[in-house]
Amino acid sequence: MKGEMSMSFNMGRKDFKKKYREYHQARWDEPIIFELSQKGERGVILPEAEPEVAAVPLPELGTMARKTPPRLPEMSQMRVLKHYLHLSQENIGADETVDIGQGTCTMKYSPKINDRLANISDFADVHPRQDESTIQGSIEIMYRMEQMLKAISGMDRFCLHPGGGSQAILVIATVLRAWLDAQGLSGEKDEIITTIFSHPSNPACAAIKGFKTITVYPDKNGRPDLDAMRAAVSPRTAALFITNPEDIGIYNEHITEFTKLVHDAGGLCAYDQANANALLGIARAREAGFDLCFFNIHKTFSSPHGCGGPGCGAIGVREHLVKYLPAPLVGFDAKENRYFLDYESPSKDVRVKDFYGVLPALTRGCAWIMSLGPDWLREVSRVAVLNNNYIFKKVTAMRGVSAPYAEGEYRMEQVRYSLRKLKDETGIGAAELINRMFDYGMHLWSSHEPWIVPEPFTIEPTESYSKAEIDEYLAVLEHVIDECYTEPETVKSAPHKSAIHRFDHDILDDPERWAITWRSYLKKYKNYFEPR
C-alpha cells in the first residue's frame, strides 16, 4: 500500500488513482510598479557624507546638470519587496515544476549549495582589477574549470569569457575570421555550413563576422543529408558550425565524414555543444574531428538560467587555434603555486566581453562537476538518455503524437515530437496545447523556428527528475491530449489557471500600438488601453 501511495501524490484524497494534480498559479492582479508609488516614500537611505566631505565645493555643470528628477516610483522597502515577491509567484522556475518541456535547453537541477558558494563575499565582492595576490581564488576556479572542460571535450584550451552560448558562437566566428585573415584567405573562404536543426545563433553570428550561410536539411532519417553536405562543401567553405545530436535528439553517425569533408576543403569544424548532456564521458569533440567546441555552463553544467541569463558559454579550441582566442586566458605557475591571467597571446587585442567571464556561473559549474567526478558525470548522460527514451516510448504511444524520422531507433537526450495528427483531427496544435498544459502547472515549449517538424514540441528530461515526476508530467500530457478530443473548447480557451488571461498579441507587432515602456504607454494610452 505504501509503495502504491508513493507513486501518487494526492495522499489523503479518495481518488488514489489520479496521476496529476490540480494547479492554480498565484493571481495577484499586481499593479505596474509605477501605480504603487507614493510621493515621499523611501526604499533605502544612503550614508550621508561627513560635514568636511559635504563642504567641498562642486563644479558648475551647466546644461549637464539634470533638471528634473527621474520619474521613478517612490516606495518604502517592504512594498518593493512585496511587489517583486508577488511577481515571483506569478512566475515558474525549474525548481517549482517538472521542467522537462523546454527541450534543447537542459533545464536541470542547479544545486542550492552552489548558489550559496557563488555568492559568498570572497567571490562576489571582488573587483576584476585587483592585485593578482588577492584574486587567487577566482582565478583558481577558472583554471580548474578549464582543466575539467578540456578533459570532457578533448580540446586543448578554453576561453571562459562569453556570457552565453550565442556569444560563444560569436567567439567561434571571431576565431575563424582571425584564422582566415592570418592566412590571407578571408576573400576566398566566405561561407559557413550549418544545419537547420542547429541553433539559430550559428548562422546569425556567422553573419556578424561577414560569412554567408549554407543550411543543410535533414534526410529522411533525420540526419543532416550527407549528399547535400557534399554539395555544400567547396573551396569557399570556411567552416562547419554544427550540433550533434541535433535539436531533434538524433545522433549523426556520419559526423566524422562531415568534419573530414570540411577539413579536406581547408575549413575548420566547430561543434555547438551548448547542450552536451547526452555525451559526458561518452563521446568528445576531439575524436569526432572538431577544431572548436563550446559548452553552455547554464545548461549541461547546471548553472541556473536566471530568466535568460547570466549564463556562460565556454569555448574550447585545439592547439592550432589557441593563438586566436581572446585574451586573457588563465595560467598556473606550478613552481610558484600561482594562478594568473595570461595576456601573452597574439590576439590579446581581441575581446568579445568585458573582463574574464561570468564567475557565478563558472563557480556553480565547477562545484557541480566536482560533486560528480568522472563516474557520476558519465551517469548524468546515461540517465538523461534513459529518461528520454522512457518518455519517448510513452509519448509516441499517445494519440495524435508522432516523432518524425528514424523510426524504430532510440533517441539521445531529447526528442522533437509532432502534433500534426492531433491538429488534423482536432484543430488543436502546439500553441494551444502549451497553454492548457500550464493549467496543470507544467511547461511545454514548441521549438525553435522554422517548424520543419510540423506542430512541434521538444522534451528533454535531463537527469534531474525522478521517474515519479516524469510519470506525473506524462499523465498531464496524456490528459490534455485526451481533452483535445473530448473538450476541445476547454483547451482552445486555455489558459484558465494562470496569473492572467489571454491577451491581444497583435498589438505587439503594431508600431502605433506597441508600448515597450510605461512612459511610452502613457503617451499612447489613457486609462486601460484607451488610445490617446
Partner 1 sequence: MMSASKFESHPYIPNSVPSVQDEMLREIGASSIDDFFKCIPEDIKFKGKLEIPEGIPSEAALKRHIESIASKNKSVNKAISFLGGGCWNHYVPAACDEINGRSEFLTAYAGDPYEDHGRFQALFEYESMMAELLEMDVVNIPTYDGAQAAGTALRMAGRITGRPKVLVPELISPDRMKVIKNYLHPQMNVVTVRTDAETLAVDPDDLRAKTGADTAAVFIENPAFLGMIETRGEEISRIAHEGGALFIVWADPSSLGVLTPPSGYGADIACGDIQPLGVRMHFGGGRGGYIASSDDEKFVREYPSRLFGIAPTTHGEWGFGDVAWERTSFAGRENSKEFVGTAAALWGLTAGVYLATMGPRGMADLGSGIMRRSYYLAGELSKIDGVSIVGNGPFFKEFPVKFSGRSVKDVNAALLERGIFGGHDLSPDYPSLTNTALYCVNEAMTKSDMDALTSALSDILR
Q: Closest CB to partner 1 among 15 and 354? A: 354
Where is 421: in which H helix or E strand?
helix 420-426
Name which of residues 8 to 37 contact partner 1 (CB under 8 A): 25, 29-34
Q: How far is the CB of 318 from partner 1 (least distance, A)?
A: 15
* Overall size of the chain counted in residues: 532
Is 397 a binder of partner 1 (CB under 8 A)? no
Name which of residues 432 to 461 contact partner 1 (CB under 8 A): 434-435, 438, 443, 445, 448-449
Instruction: Choose the stretch contacting partner 1; rule: CB under 8 A; options: 15-23, 229-237, 417-425, 506-514.
Output: 506-514
Q: Closest CB to partner 1 among 344 and 509? A: 509
Q: Closest CB to partner 1 among 15 and 60? A: 60
Q: Closest CB to partner 1 among 204 and 421? A: 204
Residue from the set 14, 335, 505, 532 that interacts with partner 1 by CB under 8 A: 505
Q: Closest CB to partner 1 among 390 and 485? A: 390
Is 487 a binder of partner 1 (CB under 8 A)? no
Residue from the set 183, 210, 320, 346 that interacts with partner 1 by CB under 8 A: 210
Q: Which residues contact 302 (CB under 8 A, 6 or more apart)?
A: 108, 109, 110, 111, 114, 364, 365, 368
Burial of 251 (0-12, 13-18, 19+ CB in 10 A): buried
Q: How far is the CB of 165 from partner 1 (least distance, A)?
A: 6
Instruction: Choose the stretch contacting partner 1; rule: CB under 8 A; options: 9-17, 132-140, 228-236, 475-483.
Output: 132-140
Cα angle: 85, vertex 89, 90; to 5 degrees: 115
Whole-number Å distance between alpha carbons of 425 and 476 = 20
Is 86 a binder of partner 1 (CB under 8 A)? yes
Is 103 a binder of partner 1 (CB under 8 A)? no
Is 282 a binder of partner 1 (CB under 8 A)? yes
Whole-number Å distance between alpha carbons of 82 and 78 = 6
Q: Closest CB to partner 1 among 267 and 463? A: 463
Is 502 a binder of partner 1 (CB under 8 A)? yes
Amino acid making up residue 159:
C
Is 208 a binder of partner 1 (CB under 8 A)? yes
Cα angle: 189, vertex 190, 192; to 5 degrees: 105
Distances (CA, A) of 137 to 44, 57, 141, 246: 32, 42, 6, 37
Name which of residues 45 to 84 contact partner 1 (CB under 8 A): 45-50, 52-54, 56-59, 61-67, 69-75, 77, 80-81, 83-84
Name which of residues 220 to 249 contact partner 1 (CB under 8 A): none
Whole-number Å distance between alpha carbons of 338 and 342 = 12
Is 379 a binder of partner 1 (CB under 8 A)? yes
N-terminal to C-terminal alpha carbon distance within the chain = 65
**CB neighbourhood size of 68 (10 A):** 5
Is 427 a binder of partner 1 (CB under 8 A)? no
Q: How far is the CB of 14 from partner 1 (least distance, A)?
A: 27
Q: How far is the CB of 294 from partner 1 (least distance, A)?
A: 12
Could you tell me which residues are beta bridge partners of residue 17? none
Residue from the set 385, 403, 476, 491 that interacts with partner 1 by CB under 8 A: 385
Q: Which of 274, 267, 256, 271 is nearest to 192 (CA)?
A: 267
Whole-number Å distance between alpha carbons of 230 and 222 = 17
| Cell numbers at 296, concatenated | 553552455
Q: Closest CB to partner 1 among 230 and 393? A: 393
Instruction: Choose the stretch contacting partner 1; rule: CB under 8 A; options: 15-23, 452-460, 477-485, 491-499.
Output: 491-499
Buried b (16+ CB within 10 A) or exposed e, 377-390: beebbebbbebbbe
